[in-house]
C-alpha cells in the first residue's frame, strides 16, 4: 500500500506508461496485476509502494499499463535528499543500470546435443573477461564479427533475449540459440543485459502528462 505521509501536502505528480518489449515479446495481460508482474521487478513495486503517497494504475490495451504517482513531503525542515520524491528517484536510479557492455573474445558452439548435457543442440560458450552476468540473466550481443542476416539464419547480433544457463569465470553458456551451425564467430562484439533491476523482460517506458488523478 502507498505510504500515508500527506500531512504537509502531496506534490510532484508523475505518470509513466510501461509497455512490453517492442520485439520478441508477444505476451498479453488480462489485467494490471499481470502486466505489473511481467514488466516491473518486485524491487520496483516495493519502491513505488514505499515512496509514493498516492498511486493509480490503469491497463493500456493488453500490452502494458499506466501508473500515476504523487508524493507527500516531510516538511520544510527535511533534508532535500530525504523527502519522498527524492527517495523515489534515487532508489529508482540505483536499479536502472544494466550489466555491460562486456567485450567478447571467443564463442564456441556445440551442435552435438550431448546426452544429459541439459543443453540445446545449438548451445554456445562465450568468453567475456570480467563480466558480471549470473545464470538467468537475459542478454543481447552487438557487433559480433562473422554474423549477418536474421536471427533465424544464425545471426547472434539479431537475437534479442538470450538466457544465460550457467557461468564459470570469464565464460558463460547460452543453452539454446538460433545458430544451427550456419555462422562462425570471428572477432569483436559486446554482450549486455536487456533488463535492469527496475524493469523486467525488456520492457520500455515513456513519461506522460495524461495523469490518472
What CATH number does residue 24 fall under? 3.30.70
Q: In terms of domains, do 84 and 138 share one?
A: no
Residue 118 is part of a domain; what is its CATH number? 2.40.30
| pLDDT score, position 2 | 58
| Phi, psi (rounded to 5 degrees) for 198 | -90, -45
| pLDDT score, position 116 | 42
2 lies in a domain?
no
Q: In terms of domains, do 107 and 184 share one?
A: yes
Q: How far apart are CA 22 and CA 161, in angstroms?
A: 12
Q: Running DSSP on this structure, what letter comes out for residue 122?
A: T
Q: In terms of domains, do 75 and 118 share one?
A: no
Q: In terms of domains, do 88 and 124 share one?
A: no
Q: In terms of domains, do 72 and 111 share one?
A: no
Q: In terms of domains, do 169 and 203 share one?
A: no
Q: How far apart are CA 207 and CA 10, in angstroms?
A: 19
pLDDT values of the chain reduced to their tens digit, one per residue, 213 residues: 456 666 666 778 999 999 998 777 899 999 999 999 999 999 999 999 999 999 999 999 999 999 999 998 876 666 666 688 999 999 999 999 889 999 999 999 988 765 444 445 689 999 999 999 988 888 999 999 999 998 888 899 998 889 899 999 999 999 888 888 888 999 999 999 988 989 988 899 999 999 999
Q: How far apart are CA 44 and CA 11, in angstroms?
A: 20
128 lies in a domain?
yes
**Three-state secondary-structure class, residue 86:** helix
Total domains present in the chain: 2
Q: In terms of domains, do 18 and 84 share one?
A: yes
Q: In terms of domains, do 110 and 167 share one?
A: yes
Domain that holds residue 127: 102-193
Q: In terms of domains, do 28 and 56 share one?
A: yes
Q: Assess whether the previous peptide bond of 101 is cis (omega < 30° from 0).
A: yes
| pLDDT score, position 115 | 41
Q: How far apart are CA 92 and CA 77, in angstroms?
A: 24
4 lies in a domain?
no
Q: What is the pTM of this model?
A: 0.69
Q: How far apart are CA 54 and CA 6, in angstroms?
A: 9
Q: How far apart are CA 127 and CA 142, in angstroms?
A: 14
Amino acid at each position: 500500500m502507498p505510504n500515508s505521509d500527506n500531512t504537509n501536502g502531496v506534490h510532484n505528480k508523475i505518470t509513466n506508461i510501461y509497455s512490453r518489449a517492442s520485439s520478441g515479446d508477444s505476451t498479453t495481460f488480462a489485467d494490471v496485476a499481470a502486466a505489473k508482474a511481467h514488466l516491473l521487478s518486485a524491487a520496483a513495486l516495493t519502491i513505488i509502494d514505499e515512496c509514493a503517497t498516492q498511486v493509480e494504475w490503469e491497463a493500456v490495451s493488453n500490452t502494458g499499463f499506466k501508473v500515476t504517482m504523487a508524493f507527500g513531503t516531510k516538511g520544510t525542515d527535511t533534508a532535500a535528499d530525504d523527502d519522498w520524491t527524492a527517495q523515489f528517484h534515487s532508489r529508482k536510479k540505483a536499479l536502472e543500470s544494466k550489466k555491460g557492455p562486456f567485450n567478447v573474445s571467443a564463442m564456441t558452439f556445440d551442435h552435438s546435443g550431448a546426452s544429459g548435457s541439459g543443453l540445446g543442440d545449438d548451445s554456445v560458450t562465450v568468453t567475456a573477461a570480467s563480466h558480471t552476468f549470473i545464470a538467468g540473466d537475459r542478454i543481447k550481443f552487438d557487433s559480433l564479427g562473422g554474423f549477418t542476416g536474421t536471427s533465424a539464419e544464425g545471426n547472434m547480433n539479431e537475437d534479442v533475449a538470450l538466457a544465460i544457463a550457467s557461468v564459470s569465470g570469464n565464460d558463460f553458456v547460452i543453452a539454446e540459440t538460433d545458430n544451427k551451425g550456419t555462422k562462425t564467430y570471428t572477432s569483436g562484439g559486446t554482450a549486455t543485459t536487456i533488463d535492469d533491476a527496475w524493469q523486467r523482460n525488456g520492457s520500455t517506458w515513456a513519461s506522460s502528462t495524461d495523469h490518472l488523478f
